[in-house]
Structure formats: C-alpha cells, structure tokens
C-alpha cells in the first residue's frame, strides 16, 4: 500500500510523539516535549498563513495571549470549564483576526505585517496594564483542566509531565491533520494560488481578500489554542505569552524548519525549543545565536531545514 | 447573434499619456476577434482594462449585455470571462495538474470548514475538479507532464497550460494574450487548432498575437491599434489591404519578411 504525503506526515508525527519518550533520560523531558508540541501547534497555523497564503504576521502572539488569558479569566469570571474557556478564546481570537484583517488584507504588500505588529503590541499592553483584570506583569493563575484527574478515575494514571506531553501531542496531531486536509482542498489550493500569483488567482475567480482573511483567521485560532495549552499546562500565565519576542519566535520556527511544509515547520519548532535548553551555558548570547542560525538558514537553505535536507536525500537517490 | 463582449469608447491615461483612447468593438459567440498593432500600441493595456486588472478611465465594457466596467477579475470570472497573460502567470510551485485544477476554483470551492475537516463533500468536489483538469491537460497535450512542478516546464508548454487553466473556467469569453509567443511552428499550429475548436464550441475569443500568419488564418475580425487608438478594423483581407495599417504595422512586417 502506498501512503499519500498526508498519511506519511501524520504517521511520522504520531510515531515521533509515541516513541521519543522511550529515550527520555528523565521526566523533565516530557515537559520539553510538551513545549515543542505547543509551539508546533502555533507554527502549524503560521504554515497556513505564510506557507500556503504567503502572508506575514508579526503579531500572532497576541492571539496566543487571548487564548491563554481566556483560560485564566473565563473560568473565574464566567464560571466556564477551562476547556470551554479555550474554545471561547479561540472564537474571540478568530473574531479579532477578522476585524484586524478585513481592512488590511484588501491592501497589497506588507501592511499585514505592520498591522499585526501593532495588534500584538496592543494585546501585550492591555495584559500588562489592566491589572484589575489580568494582575499585570506578575501573571495570573490558571485553573486545572481536570482531564488528568478524569483519566486517573478511568484507571489511566499519568504523571503531570506525561499527561501534558501526550495531550499536547494529540492536539498537535489534530492541528496537523486539519492543516494537511486544507493543503490539498479547494480552499488550500486558492491560498497557494494567490501566493504564486495574485493576479492569476483573481482571474480564476479567487476572491483574494476573502481567501487571505480565511487564512489569517484560521492561523489566529491555531495560535489561540497554542496559548491556551501553554497556560493550562503551566497553570500560570504572564503577559510574555503575547510579547513581541513570542511572535518573532513563531515566524522564526516556521521559516527555519520550512514554512511550506507542516512537518518542516514542526521540526523548526522542535529545534528552536531545544536549542535554548542546549545553550543554557550561553544564555546571554541566546538571541545572538538564534539570529546567526536564522541568517545562515536564509542564506544557504532558503526553503528551510527539513525540505532542504529531504531534497538532498532525494537528490542523491536519483 | 448578439455580442457576448462589447466595448465602447474605452480609454486610460498613465501620467498624462493616453495609453488607450476611445477604442470600441464587439465579439460575438463563436467569433475570433484579433487585436493587432505595433509594440506599445496598447493591446495588453486594453486586455487589462477589459479583464478588470486596470480601471478604465473612460468608456464601457459589457458582458452579455451587463455593464461590467472596471469590475474585479474574480467577479468577471464568475460572469464567464477568462484570460491568459503575455508574461505567463503560472503557479510555479504547484504541479501542472494543480495549476489546471486551480481553474476549477469557482466550481470546486465550498465551505472552509468542510475543507479543513476533509469532509466527503469537499473531497468529492476536489475529485471532480481533478478529473476535469486531467481531461483538459490531455486536450492541450500536457497529460504526461501532469505531476511535474509547473516551474520546470518549457515556455511553450506553460503557454498551453495557461490556456488549459483559462478553459477550466468554462468561459463564455476568452481573452488570449499572445498564446503563440515563444512557440515553434508545430506548437503554434496546435494552438491554432485549439483556439478554433474552442471558438467552434461557442466561446467568444479575443486574441492579441504577433504571429501575423496565425492572425490572418484564424480571425473572423481584426481590430488594429496604433498609439492607443483604433486605426482600422474589418475582416483579415480588408485589414491587410488598408493603407493606414500597412504604414503603421504590416509594412514593417513585410519589409522584415522580404529581407
């Protein structure tokens, strides 16, 4: 039986999630793995926006912030279950993306990058300054999701690290599955078409402004769920989740790994999550090293790490 | 037969320069109308105004009697107008087949949610488009290149791919901007046949082409532009005898041919 690229990607991803724990030297690595999956989820959204549709956002952490704080605030103030709070955050993020993107995406060029930059900073400022609601820069507690306790009741007793590792992994798999469905679908094809040639996309009937808006909203929802997951597993959140550096990180991860492919971008999320752990000795130079890695990749491997590596392998195979 | 595409007094100025001025003509069902003229005569500008890429400064474009002047290209596509480009607009990173499928966008697109979830409805629509696209590729002789990345194809093949993509819309009016440019004699003849066949199926075709032999052979009607203005029109025989046309355009061609 021959696997389609979609099935192959999902299989590789599932196998990696399931099998890597066997090589973990300590329980700490479950935590690192969960962080990779959370970042991977946000980056999968970036693949849809940037890889498929060719649009750049510099403020996606703003949506992660909305998702994260929804999980902190909605259970307390609205009495919602944390899972429903995450869904509320996603809906809110989608609506915000629609409002921000609608006027901007009619314009050509880099207006979206500039506008989203402003949006991200705005969310970050609100989270920092509205102390009566968010408790400001010190951060705020997030209630327990409760799923781990539920599983325990059913006889599946996982440690906190294990639970969040597998739960985040599952969320990432679902996110990747949706993104891969989209790739080869009419909507995905329209996005890739406008990326290739906006004018030709128009001529075949693609409503370019609407298609870009769809990609922007979808990717915002991904970022929102990623923020929710992060807040729920840390049981605590600070406004840093919406910070400018987090937005840049998302784009960097996607571009580094290969923004055109879901697996590549997740690979990028993995590397950039692991790198700071490996470079703790150089903590002060972390940003500097990341910048250097980024520049080298852009100069020598423009498609991103994973697609370039795969091409090399196939190239020698022929 | 009534005109599918009709143009009246169309004009546009770029920074004070009249790129196209007061041009009018019409194309009926199954008819092939060619626009000819020297380089810079305003042919592509005219195409861009008709297809909604540029906003006309003056005049009117109507499609099946409906005023569509300056309408967005995607809305024109919905109304049955399709085009190709002089300087190819191919989706480079897609396969040849995907490029052709893109032409089915209006017929294959449905809800985003269905596409995300990969629902059967979404897959069915995509499959129908895929089958149609395969048949179209066979028609333009590209079926064997279907799975290749479009960016790797040669120029002549890309020209045909653009025609296939434009045909995928099932248009009532088709604008072809130099479909035979860069093609060899055999390819040109193939494109000839294809255009004639499409016209015979009832599509109104507007053609810009530099290959005079091809234009004379397949056109029902020719419009001659020079410096953005219409200087002559009529059937191929009339136009080729017109002194103004010979002076502006055909004369230089004839010299070239004799030399």
Q: Kindly identify which residue of chain B lies nearest to residue A208, measuring between CA atoms.
A: B74
Spell out the domain ranges in chain B: 1-80+171-259, 92-169
ipTM over 0.90: no
Q: In this predicted structure, what is the pLDDT of residue B252?
A: 54
Q: Kindly identify which residue of chain B lies nearest to residue A215, measuring between CA atoms.
A: B112
Which domain, by its residues, includes A151? Answer: 5-21+30-317
Is pLDDT above 50 for A310? yes
Half-sphere exposure of B160 (CA within 13 A, CB side): 27
Q: In angstroms, rounded to a whole number, what is the distance separating the alpha carbons of residues B101 and B109?
A: 11
| Contact predicate A67/A83, CB 8 Å | no
Chain A residues touching residue B103 (CB < 8 angstroms): 204
Q: Kindly identify which residue of chain A lies nearest to residue B83, measuring between CA atoms.
A: A203
Q: Kindly identify which residue of chain A lies nearest to residue B100, measuring between CA atoms.
A: A204
| Contact predicate B91/A200, CB 8 Å | yes
Centre a 10 Å sphere on the Cβ of residue A153 and count the other Cβ atoms it contains: 9
A186·B73 Cβ contact <8 A: no
Q: What is the DSSP letter of A282?
A: G
- In angstroms, what separates the C-alpha of A211 from chain B's closest C-alpha? 10
**Average pLDDT, integer, range A118-135:** 91
Chain B residues touching residue A213 (CB < 8 angstroms): none
A186·B109 Cβ contact <8 A: yes
Q: Kindly identify which residue of chain B lies nearest to residue A204, measuring between CA atoms.
A: B103
Mean pLDDT, chain A, whole residue set: 89
Which of B50, B52, B70, B89 to substitute to test the interface with A, most A CBs within 10 Å?
B89
Chain B residues touching residue A195 (CB < 8 angstroms): 93
- In angstroms, what separates the C-alpha of A195 from chain B's closest C-alpha? 8
- In angstroms, what separates the C-alpha of A60 from chain B's closest C-alpha? 20
Distances (CA, A) of A171 to A167, A195, A225, A255: 6, 28, 9, 22
To the question of domain B1-80+171-259 being in CATH 3.40.50.300, the answer is yes
**Using one digit for the tens of pLDDT, what is the confidence trace for A251-305?**
989 988 888 889 999 999 998 888 877 777 777 777 787 788 778 888 888 788 8
Chain A residues touching residue B93 (CB < 8 angstroms): 192, 195-196, 260
- Highest-scoring range by mean pLDDT, A89-103, A150-164, B225-239: A89-103
- Please indicate if any CB of chain B lies within 8 Å of the CB of A204: yes
Contacts 24+ apart (CB under 8 A), B26-29: B27/B3, B27/B173, B27/B204, B27/B205, B27/B206, B27/B221, B28/B1, B28/B2, B28/B3, B28/B4, B28/B204, B29/B1, B29/B2, B29/B4, B29/B172, B29/B202, B29/B203, B29/B204
**Using one digit for the tens of pLDDT, what is the confidence trace for A242-255?**
999 899 889 989 98
- Please indicate if any CB of chain B lies within 8 Å of the CB of A108: no
- Mean pLDDT for back-to-back runs of 10 residues, chain B (259 residues): 86 88 93 90 92 92 93 94 91 93 86 91 90 93 90 88 93 93 84 92 93 90 91 89 79 46
Domain count along chain A: 1
Residues of B with CB under 8 A from a CB of A: 51-53, 72-74, 77-78, 82-83, 85, 89-94, 98, 101-103, 105-106, 108-110, 112, 115-118, 122-123, 125-126, 129, 165-166, 168-169
| Contact predicate A141/A71, CB 8 Å | no
Residues 150-189 of A with CB under 8 A from B: 177-178, 181-182, 184-189
Is pLDDT above 70 for A224? yes
Nearest CA to B62 out of B12, B4, B21 is that of B4
Q: Kindly identify which residue of chain A lies nearest to residue B112, measuring between CA atoms.
A: A187
Q: In this predicted structure, what is the pLDDT of residue B250?
A: 53
């Amino acid at each position: 039986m021959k696997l389609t690229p979609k099935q192959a990607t999902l299989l590789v991803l599932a196998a990696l999630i399931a099998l890597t724990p066997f090589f973990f030297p300590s329980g700490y690595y479950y935590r690192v793995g969960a962080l990779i999956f959370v970042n991977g989820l946000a980056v999968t959204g970036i693949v849809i926006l940037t890889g498929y549709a060719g649009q750049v956002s510099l403020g996606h952490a703003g949506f992660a912030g909305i998702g994260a704080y929804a999980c902190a605030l909605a259970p307390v103030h609205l009495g919602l279950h944390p899972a429903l709070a995450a869904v509320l955050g996603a809906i809110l993020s989608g609506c915000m993306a629609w409002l921000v993107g609608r006027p901007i995406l009619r314009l050509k060029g880099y207006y979206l990058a500039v506008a989203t930059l402003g949006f991200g900073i705005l969310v970050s400022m609100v989270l920092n300054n509205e102390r009566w609601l968010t408790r400001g820069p010190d951060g705020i507690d997030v209630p327990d999701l409760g799923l781990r306790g539920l599983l325990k009741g059913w006889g599946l007793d996982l440690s906190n690290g294990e639970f969040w590792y597998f739960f985040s992994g599952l969320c990432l798999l679902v996110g990747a599955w949706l993104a891969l469905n989209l790739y080869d679908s009419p909507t995905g094809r329209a996005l890739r078409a406008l990326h290739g040639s906006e004018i030709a996309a128009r001529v075949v009937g693609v409503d370019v402004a609407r298609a870009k808006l769809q990609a922007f909203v979808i990717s915002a929802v991904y970022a929102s769920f990623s923020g929710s997951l992060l807040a729920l597993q840390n049981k605590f959140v600070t406004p840093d989740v919406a910070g400018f550096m987090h937005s840049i990180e998302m784009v960097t991860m996607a571009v580094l790994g290969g923004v055109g492919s879901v697996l590549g971008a997740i690979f990028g999320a993995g590397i950039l999550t692991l790198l700071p752990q490996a470079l703790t000795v150089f903590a002060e130079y972390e940003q500097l090293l990341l910048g250097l890695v980024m520049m080298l990749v852009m100069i020598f491997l423009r498609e991103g790490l994973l697609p370039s590596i795969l091409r090399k392998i196939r190239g020698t195979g022929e | 037969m009534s005109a599918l595409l009709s143009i009246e007094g169309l004009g546009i100025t770029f920074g004070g320069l009249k790129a196209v001025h007061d041009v009018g003509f019409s194309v009926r069902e199954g008819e092939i109308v060619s626009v000819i003229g020297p380089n810079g005569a305003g042919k592509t500008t005219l195409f861009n105004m008709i297809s909604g890429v540029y906003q006309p400064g003056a005049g009117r474009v109507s499609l099946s009697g409906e005023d569509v002047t300056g309408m967005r290209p995607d809305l024109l596509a919905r109304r049955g107008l399709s085009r190709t480009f002089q300087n190819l607009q191919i989706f480079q990173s897609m396969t040849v087949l995907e490029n052709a499928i893109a032409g089915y966008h209006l017929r294959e697109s449905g809800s985003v949610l269905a596409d995300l979830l990969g629902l059967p409805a979404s897959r069915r629509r995509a499959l129908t488009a895929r089958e149609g696209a395969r048949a179209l590729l066979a028609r333009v002789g590209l079926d064997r290149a279907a799975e290749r990345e479009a960016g790797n194809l040669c120029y002549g093949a890309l020209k045909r791919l653009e025609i296939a993509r434009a045909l995928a819309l099932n248009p009532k009016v088709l604008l072809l901007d130099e479909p035979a440019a860069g093609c060899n004699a055999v390819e040109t003849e193939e494109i000839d046949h294809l255009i004639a066949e499409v016209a015979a199926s009832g599509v109104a075709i507007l053609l810009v082409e530099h290959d005079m032999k091809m234009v004379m052979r397949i056109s029902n009607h020719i419009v001659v532009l020079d410096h953005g203005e219409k200087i002559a029109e009529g059937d191929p025989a009339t136009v080729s005898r017109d002194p103004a046309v010979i002076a502006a355009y055909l004369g230089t061609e004839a010299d070239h041919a004799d030399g």
